[in-house]
Chain A
Amino acid sequence: MVVGRPLEETELVERARTGDAGAYAALVRGHEEIAFRTAYLITGNTADAEDAAQEGFVKAYRALPRFRAGEPLRPWLLTIVANEARNRRRSAGRRAALALRAAGEERPTREAAPSPEEALLAGERRAALLGALGRLREDDRLVIGCRYLLELSEAETAAALGVRPGTVKSRLSRSLERLRAELGDEDA
């Protein structure tokens, strides 16, 4: 047997379907971070997120025979994991608090390093932005979180939110309007 390159996802899926747990573990490894973070965004706490992601991956394994070969795996996995996450959030009884903090530095750009004053202003702005996000309704927070914080595609965002792909764009646009309003209040 010739092994010299990483297996393509479709090959791993085919192997996992026939009961190759090692192949499935490789698939989980490749998607565990985005699945966990998506679940965290929904449940708001790490214990439920871990539980939801783990349960989602095990259920997905069992559902693999129903997965349509050739389709992208990630949205399909996110649908299952997000569904588990929503079930846990509902059963938690009250709205879960979600704590995220801005990383100290913004994502690297090609521009020169900011001055301390600029860095301080940027830090305050990040604080205002996350604060405003936190005051939004859950639906608004989720769609913005999926698109910008998790950088999911529209199709993946739809999968994570359990909505039709066609509605993501309009939802996002409305949510951004509300975020703008929230930030405007803060600036005033």
Chain B
Amino acid sequence: MRDLHQELTALSVEWPATPDLAGAVAARLAAGEEPVRRRPRLPAWRPALAYGLAAIAATFAIVMAASPDARSAVLEWLGLKSVKVERREPTAPPPRPGRLGSGLALGTPATLGEARDRAAFLRLPAAEGLGRPDAIYLGGRNVSLVYGKRPGYTRAGTTGAAVLVQEFPARVEPFIEKTLGAGSRLERLRVRGDPAYFITGAHGFAYESEDGVLFEEQRLAGNTLLVERADGLLIRIEGDLERDRAVAIAESIP
């Protein structure tokens, strides 16, 4: 008879990538969420309610299993076959006081200098009217530039941000279509010769990086442009933006 104990001990599982919780928690604490000793109760501590209010639309996320290669037996833990569509409740985070974008779980706030030191791949867009980002966050594998409302760019949803530009050293192509949910529309285009996708409607997206396939959620209400550049940089521009405007921002990134 097989030794179940030994088999279970030897079993190793591919867990989803751990998000940057330390960064997100640090950002929340920096935004004024103090230890209980001084402030026993904060109304802001009711995320369930706040998330409920902030709910705009359900997002569909698709959990993918690996390709059926010989190496891995892809398995279901609970009735999951190779692809599963999962209906997800609100993804729009509640507004939080403090730094722009601090409620978006983008990682650790950073100055431009720090971001350049730690994310050598960072390129700033130079699109007209956009100017410098109002806030910069370093995630585990990406850098996020957050722009508040400014002429020509309206603020999206409850987050206070007008445009979110994220840069990843990663590839997105093989997975993009699998991650689109109902209500999303995908348009393929080229931005300076590189393959790009303009996505209308809420969505998340999966991308392949050195750490495997990771999943990102929609953060602002609005549309998203993804550009997969030949230099290995994946650019994601999110906001209440028309296609041409999003393309102009992408083209302005050196």
List the interface of chain A (C-beta within 8 A of B).
17, 19, 21-22, 24-26, 28-29, 32-33, 35-37, 40, 44-47, 49-51, 53-55, 57-59, 61-66, 87, 91-92, 95, 97-107, 109, 120, 123-127, 129-131, 133-134, 141, 144, 148-149, 176, 179-180, 183
Q: Is the CB–CB distance between B11 and A102 below 8 Å?
A: yes
Give the chain B neighbours of A109 by CB distance below 8 A: 10
Besides A22-B26, A35-B21, 6 other A-B contacts (C-beta < 8 A): A97-B78, A99-B63, A100-B77, A123-B72, A126-B75, A130-B76
Give the chain A neighbours of B45 by CB distance below 8 A: 59
Give the chain A neighbours of B14 by CB distance below 8 A: 100-103
In the bound complex, how far is the Cα of B16 from the Cα of A49, in angstroms?
10
3 closest A-B pairs by CB? A62-B36, A127-B73, A148-B8
Q: Is the CB–CB distance between B22 and A28 below 8 Å?
A: yes
Give the chain A neighbours of B48 by CB distance below 8 A: 87, 91
Q: Please give the number of chain B residues whose Cβ is less than 8 angstroms from any Cβ of chain A in the complex.
A: 55
Give the chain A neighbours of B13 by CB distance below 8 A: 100-103, 130, 149
Q: Which of B83-91, B176-184, B244-252 contacts A (4 or more CB under 8 A)?
A: B83-91
Q: Is the CB–CB distance between A29 and B22 below 8 Å?
A: yes
Shortest C-beta distance, B115 to chain A (Å), equals 18
Q: Chain A: which residue is nearest B1 at the CB level?
A: A180
Beyond A24-B29, A123-B72, A148-B11, is A36–B18 a contact (Cβ under 8 Å)?
yes
Give the chain A neighbours of B25 by CB distance below 8 A: 24-25, 28, 54, 57-58, 61
Q: Is the CB–CB distance between A102 and B26 below 8 Å?
A: no
Give the chain A neighbours of B73 by CB distance below 8 A: 101-102, 123-124, 126-127
Shortest C-beta distance, B214 to chain A (Å), equals 10
List the interface of chain B (C-beta within 8 A of A).
4-5, 7-16, 18-26, 28-30, 33-37, 45, 47-48, 61, 63, 65-66, 70-80, 84, 86, 88-89, 91, 105, 215, 217
Q: Chain B: which residue is nearest A36 at the CB level?
A: B18
Give the chain B neighbours of A55 by CB distance below 8 A: 47
Give the chain A neighbours of B36 by CB distance below 8 A: 62-63, 65-66
Q: Chain A: which residue is nearest B108 at the CB level?
A: A25
In the bound complex, how far is the Cα of B26 from the Cα of A26, in angstroms?
10
Q: Is the CB–CB distance between B16 and A46 below 8 Å?
A: yes
Q: Chain A: which residue is nearest B37 at the CB level?
A: A65
Give the chain B neighbours of A33 by CB distance below 8 A: 18
Shortest C-beta distance, B45 to chain A (Å), equals 8
In the bound complex, how far is the Cα of B35 from the Cα of A180, in angstroms?
47
